C-alpha cells in the first residue's frame, strides 16, 4: 500500500498556492514546531514544513483565505523574522548567504569576547585548586570576597553582552509560554548568576556550606554554547553549498545577436527566441537549440558523466554546461527558472525543505521536550532542597537539566542529512524531489524496472551480421542499406544507421518495392537486392543455407530480430537487430542485488525478448507484454503481497507506475527533467546512476537514524543524570559546565555525521 504520508504530500502539491520563506531566529527543533504551529493556525493555511538546517519554510495555503503577508505577520508574532523568497533563486541565495555571514561574524565576535573574559575568570576560580601556592598569593593580595567581585565584573558582560541573544529570544519565548533553547540557556545561566550575586550581597541569607558562587560556570556555559552555534553555522554553510555551486554554473553574462550585431548582456536578460553566441571554453547561459556550428559540450553538471558529447545543428543544449571546442550559435528556448538548471535548483530546494514521515514525529517530541525539561528541573530542585541538600545543590541540578535538555541535535538530525544527501546526489545528476523518498527507499525490498529505454537503449540497432561464403560484411551492409533507406520501418533505420556509422558508400536504389510483413527489394547498381524475413525468401523462391538458418534461430532465442539479405539469387547474409542493453545495466542489477533487493522486469515487450535481456542481466523474474496502464496494477499487486516497491522507468509512459510505487525513480533525458510523478530523477540514462540513487537514499536515511539515535539517547540518558539520579549511589552529579559541553558535543556529532555523506561513495 502506498505510504499515506506520501499521498498526503502529493495532494498538497496538487492544490492551493505555496510560498517559500527564509526564517531567522530558529535554534532548535522546538523552534521548528513553533513556526509550523504559528503558520498553520492561520485560517486558509493547509500545511507548513520548516527546515532548521536551511532556515527555510514552505507554506501551502488557500489564496482565497490567506495571503503571504498574513503568513509572514503570523510568524513574526511568534518572535521569528520571515522573509518571502522570490523567483530569483540566485538573489535569494545571495541574501541568505549574506544573512548567514552576518550571523557568523556576530557569533565569532561574541565568542572571542566571551572567551577573552572567561579565560581569566576560570583561572581566578579554578587556579587555587590546581596550584595551592597561587591561592595563598591571591588571599594575601585580596580577601576571597574581593576576588569574587572581580569574577562578577568579568562574568556579567559575558552573560549580558556576549549572551544577549539568549535574552533577546528567550524572554519573549517565555512570555509567550513557548520556551525553546534560548530560554533554557537563559534560565540556567541567569539563575546561577542571580544566586551567586545574592551570595555576594547578602551571604548571611545562606548556610555556611551554601555560600558558593558559580561565575566561572556561567562564563564557560555561554562560551561553549556560542562555540557550538558558531561551528553549527559553519557546518550548515558547507552542507548547503550544493545549491550555491549549482547557481554558480550560470554565467553572469551572455552574448546575443541583435539588430546592431553581437551584444553582451546579463544572462538574466536573455529572452526566449534570441540567438546566443557561445565560444570555446564558455558556459551556456540558457537552454536552447543549435542553429549554426557544432562543438563538444561538457554536460557533466546534468548527467554526471565527465566525457563531453558532440552537439550540432538541431541538437538541444543546456544552460550551465561548458562548450569545450568549437563555437556555435543557438536559439534560446528556456530562460530563467524554466531552464534545466533552474528546475534542478528548484527540485533540490524542495527536497531539502521536505520532511520524511519520521521527522513529523521528531518535531512533535521536540515540542514537549522543553516543557518536560523545565518540569524536571523544577521537580529535581525542589526534591533535592526538600531532602536537605541545600539551595546551591538544587540550583546546580536545575541548571544542568535545563542545559542538557536542549533539543538542538533533534532539530538538526533529519534536515541536515537530507540537505547533504540531496546536494551529493545533485552533483552526480541524481535529483531527489521529495524528502520522503529517503525514508521510503530504506524500506524498499523490491525493485521493478522498465526495460525499453531504462535497461536498454530504447532504439533498435544492428548488433550482428553473419555472411555466406563469397560475401564481405561491409559490401552486403552497404547494399542492404541502399534498399532500406527507402523504407520507414524501424529495422530499416537500424541498418542504414549501421552503414553510416561504418562510413560505407550507400548507392542509389531503383525499382524499389515494399511488401508489408515480408520485406523490401530493389536494384542497386543493376543487381537485385532484397531484405526481409524468412517468409520473404519463400516468396522469392531463394533457399537459405543451413548455417545461416541456424544462426538466425540462435539469435531469435536470444531475443534478437533476424532477417536476411538476398543479393542476386543467393542469400548473402543474415542480420540481427536488437535493442541493446545499456552499458552498466548488469552492474546496476548486481548493485541492487548487493543491497538485498529483489528485482524484476516489467515490460510491454515480447516474452522471448524480455527473458533474453533478463538472462543477460541476471534478473530472475520477468513480467512481459504488460501495457503501460497495467504496470501500476502490477505494482499494486506486489504491494498487496506486502512488498515495498521501487519502480524505475522513463517517466513518460511509465508515469502511472512511478506514481503508484513507494519510490518512483524516473530516467530523465537531460532536457526533460520535470517528471512530476517521480520521487527521484536520474538525469543521465546510465543504469548505474539509478542504483546509486537508491543507494544514496538508503545511506542518507541510515545517517538520519544514526543522528536521531544519538539525539534521543543523549536526552533520555543525560537528563536523568543531570537531575541527580546517580548521586545517591555513586556521588555522580553533572555540573552545568559539563551539561553545556555535552549539549554542544551532541549537535556537533550530528553535524559531522551528516557531513560524511559529502564523501559518500556512489559506486555501482
Query: CB–CB of 726/679 below 8 Å?
Result: no
How far apart are the C-alpha atoms of 359 and 416, rounded to whole Å? 12
To the query of whether residue 315 is one of the catalytic residues in this protein, the response is no
Bridge-partner residues for 18, per DSSP? 60
Residue where the block lists cell 511509465:
654
How far apart are the C-alpha atoms of 190 and 197, rounded to whole Å? 10
How far apart are the C-alpha atoms of 271 and 314, rounded to whole Å? 19
Query: CB–CB of 356/312 below 8 Å?
Result: no
How does strand 287-293 pair with strand 295-298?
A: unpaired
How far apart are the C-alpha atoms of 349 and 488, rounded to whole Å? 45
Query: Checking phi first, is residue 179 left (phi over 0); if not, alpha (psi -120 to 50) or beta?
Result: beta
Query: Checking phi first, is residue 342 left (phi over 0); if not, alpha (psi -120 to 50) or beta?
Result: alpha
Cell of 180: 525553546
Cell of 592: 541492487
Helix axes 687-723, 436-443, angle to 10 degrees: 100
The H or E element containing residue 89 is helix 89-130
**Cβ neighbours of 673 (radius 10 Å):** 22
Query: CB–CB of 460/490 below 8 Å?
Result: yes
Query: CB–CB of 601/614 below 8 Å?
Result: yes
**Cβ neighbours of 132 (radius 10 Å):** 10
- φ, ψ for residue 628 (rounded to 5)? -50, -40
The H or E element containing residue 332 is strand 328-334
CB contact burial 625-634 (16+ within 10 A = b; e otherwise): ebebeebbeb
For 557, counting Cβ atoms within 10 Å of its Cβ (0-12 exposed, 13-18 middle, 19+ buried), the class is exposed
Cell of 330: 543557438
Cell of 497: 544507421
Query: CB–CB of 147/126 below 8 Å?
Result: no
Angle among Cα 39, 45, 47 to the nearest 5 degrees reads: 80
The single-letter DSSP state of residue 210 is G
Query: CB–CB of 352/418 below 8 Å?
Result: yes
CA 536 vs CA 249, 542, 563: distances in Å: 56, 9, 9
Catalytic residue among 110, 363, 392, 450: 450
How far apart are the C-alpha atoms of 192 and 215, rounded to whole Å? 8
How far apart are the C-alpha atoms of 234 and 55, rounded to whole Å? 14
Residue where the block lists cell 545499456:
582
Report the candidate in 153, 262, 159 with the shortest Cα–Cα distance to residue 200. 153
Report the candidate in 184, 130, 190 with the shortest Cα–Cα distance to residue 158. 190
How far apart are the C-alpha atoms of 577 and 560, rounded to whole Å? 6
How far apart are the C-alpha atoms of 739 and 344, rounded to whole Å? 42
- Tell me the chain's radius of gyration from C-alpha atoms: 35
For 460, counting Cβ atoms within 10 Å of its Cβ (0-12 exposed, 13-18 middle, 19+ buried), the class is buried
Helix (H, G, I), strand (E, B) or coil at 498: helix
CB contact burial 165-204 (16+ within 10 A = b; e otherwise): bbbebbeebbeeebbbbbbbbbbbbbbbbebbbebeeeee
- Catalytically active residues are 450
Amino acid at each position: 500500500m502506498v505510504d499515506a504520508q506520501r499521498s498526503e504530500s502529493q495532494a498538497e502539491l496538487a492544490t492551493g498556492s505555496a510560498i517559500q520563506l527564509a526564517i531567522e531566529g530558529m535554534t532548535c527543533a522546538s523552534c521548528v514546531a513553533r513556526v509550523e504551529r504559528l503558520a498553520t493556525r492561520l485560517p486558509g493555511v493547509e500545511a507548513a514544513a520548516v527546515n532548521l538546517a536551511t532556515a527555510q519554510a514552505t507554506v501551502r495555503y488557500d489564496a482565497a483565505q490567506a495571503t503571504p503577508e498574513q503568513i509572514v505577520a503570523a510568524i513574526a508574532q511568534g518572535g521569528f523574522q520571515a522573509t518571502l523568497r522570490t523567483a530569483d533563486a540566485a538573489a535569494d541565495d545571495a541574501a541568505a548567504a549574506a544573512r548567514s555571514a552576518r550571523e557568523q561574524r556576530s557569533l565569532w565576535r561574541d565568542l572571542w569576547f566571551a572567551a577573552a573574559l572567561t579565560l581569566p575568570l576560570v583561572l581566578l576560580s579554578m587556579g587555587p585548586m590546581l596550584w595551592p601556592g597561587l591561592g595563598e598569593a591571591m588571599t594575601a593580595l585580596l580577601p576571597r570576597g574581593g576576588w569574587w567581585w572581580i569574577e562578577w565584573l568579568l562574568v556579567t558582560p559575558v552573560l549580558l553582552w556576549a549572551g544577549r541573544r539568549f535574552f533577546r529570544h528567550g524572554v519573549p519565548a517565555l512570555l509567550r509560554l513557548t520556551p525553546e533553547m534560548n530560554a533554557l540557556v537563559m534560565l540556567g545561566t541567569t539563575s546561577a548568576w542571580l544566586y551567586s550575586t545574592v551570595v555576594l550581597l547578602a551571604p548571611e541569607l545562606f548556610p555556611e556550606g551554601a555560600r558558593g558562587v558559580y561565575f566561572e560556570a556561567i562564563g564557560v556555559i555561554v562560551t561553549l554554547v556560542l562555540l557550538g552555534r558558531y561551528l553549527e553555522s559553519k557546518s550548515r554553510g558547507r552542507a548547503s553549498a550544493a545549491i550555491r555551486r549549482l547557481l554558480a554554473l550560470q554565467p553572469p553574462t551572455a552574448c546575443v545577436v541583435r539588430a546592431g550585431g553581437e551584444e553582451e548582456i546579463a544572462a538574466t536578460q536573455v529572452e526566449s527566441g534570441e540567438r546566443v553566441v557561445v565560444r570555446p571554453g564558455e558556459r551556456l547561459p540558457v537552454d536552447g537549440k543549435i542553429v549554426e556550428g557544432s562543438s563538444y559540450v561538457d554536460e557533466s553538471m546534468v548527467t554526471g558523466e565527465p566525457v563531453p558529447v558532440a552537439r550540432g545543428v538541431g541538437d538541444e543544449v543546456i544552460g550551465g554546461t561548458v562548450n569545450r571546442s568549437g563555437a556555435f550559435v543557438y536559439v534560446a528556448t528556456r530562460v530563467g527558472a524554466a531552464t534545466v538548471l533552474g528546475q534542478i535548483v528548484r527540485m533540490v530546494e524542495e527536497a531539502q525543505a521536505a520532511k520524511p514521515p519520521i521527522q513529523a514525529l521528531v518535531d512533535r517530541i521536540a515540542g514537549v521536550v522543553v516543557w518536560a525539561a523545565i518540569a524536571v528541573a523544577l521537580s529535581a530542585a525542589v526534591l533535592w532542597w526538600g531532602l536537605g541538600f541545600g539551595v546551591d545543590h538544587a540550583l546546580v541540578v536545575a541548571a544542568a537539566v535545563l542545559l542538557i535538555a536542549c533539543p538542538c541535535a533533534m532539530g538538526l538530525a533529519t534536515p541536515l542529512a537530507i540537505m547533504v544527501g540531496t546536494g551529493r546526489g545533485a552533483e552526480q545528476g541524481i535529483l531527489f524531489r521529495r524528502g520522503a523518498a529517503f525514508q521510503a527507499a530504506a524500506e524498499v525490498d523490491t525493485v521493478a524496472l522498465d526495460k525499453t529505454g531504462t535497461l536498454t537503449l530504447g532504439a533498435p540497432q544492428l548488433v550482428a551480421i553473419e555472411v555466406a561464403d563469397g560475401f564481405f560484411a561491409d559490401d552486403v551492409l552497404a547494399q542492404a542499406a541502399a534498399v532500406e533507406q527507402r523504407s520507414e520501418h524501424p529495422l530499416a533505420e537500424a541498418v542504414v544507421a549501421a552503414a553510416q556509422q561504418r562510413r560505407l558508400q550507400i548507392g542509389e536504389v531503383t525499382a524499389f518495392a515494399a511488401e508489408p510483413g515480408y520485406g523490401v527489394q530493389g536494384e542497386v547498381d543493376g543487381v537485385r537486392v532484397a531484405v526481409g524475413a524468412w517468409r520473404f525468401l519463400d516468396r522469392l523462391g531463394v533457399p537459405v543455407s543451413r548455417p545461416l538458418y541456424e544462426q538466425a534461430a540462435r539469435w531469435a532465442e536470444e531475443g534478437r530480430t533476424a532477417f536476411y539479405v538476398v543479393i542476386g539469387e543467393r542469400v548473402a547474409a543474415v542480420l540481427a537487430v536488437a535493442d541493446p542493453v545499456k552499458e552498466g545495466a548488469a552492474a546496476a542489477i548486481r548493485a541492487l542485488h548487493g543491497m538485498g533487493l529483489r528485482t524484476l522486469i516489467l515490460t510491454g515487450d515480447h516474452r522471448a525478448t524480455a527473458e533474453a535481456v533478463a538472462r543477460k542481466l541476471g534478473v530472475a523474474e520477468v513480467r512481459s507484454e504488460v501495457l503501460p496502464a497495467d504496470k501500476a496494477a502490477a505494482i499494486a499487486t506486489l504491494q498487496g503481497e506486502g512488498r515495498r516497491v521501487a519502480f524505475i522507468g522513463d517517466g513518460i509512459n511509465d508515469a502511472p507506475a512511478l506514481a503508484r510505487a513507494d519510490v518512483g525513480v524516473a530516467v530523465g533525458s537531460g532536457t526533460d527533467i520535470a517528471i512530476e510523478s517521480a520521487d527521484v530523477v536520474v538525469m543521465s540514462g546510465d543504469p548505474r546512476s539509478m542504483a546509486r540513487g537508491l543507494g544514496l537514499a538508503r545511506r542518507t536515511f541510515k545517517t538520519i537514524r544514526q543522528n536521531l539515535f544519538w539525539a534521543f539517547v543523549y536526552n533520555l540518558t543525560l537528563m536523568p543524570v543531570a537531575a541527580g539520579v546517580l548521586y545517591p549511589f555513586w556521588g555522580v552529579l553533572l555540573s552545568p559546565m559539563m551539561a553545556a559541553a555535552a549539549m554542544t558535543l551532541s549537535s556537533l556529532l550530528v553535524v559531522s555525521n551528516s557531513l560524511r555523506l559529502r564523501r559518500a561513495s556512489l559506486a555501482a
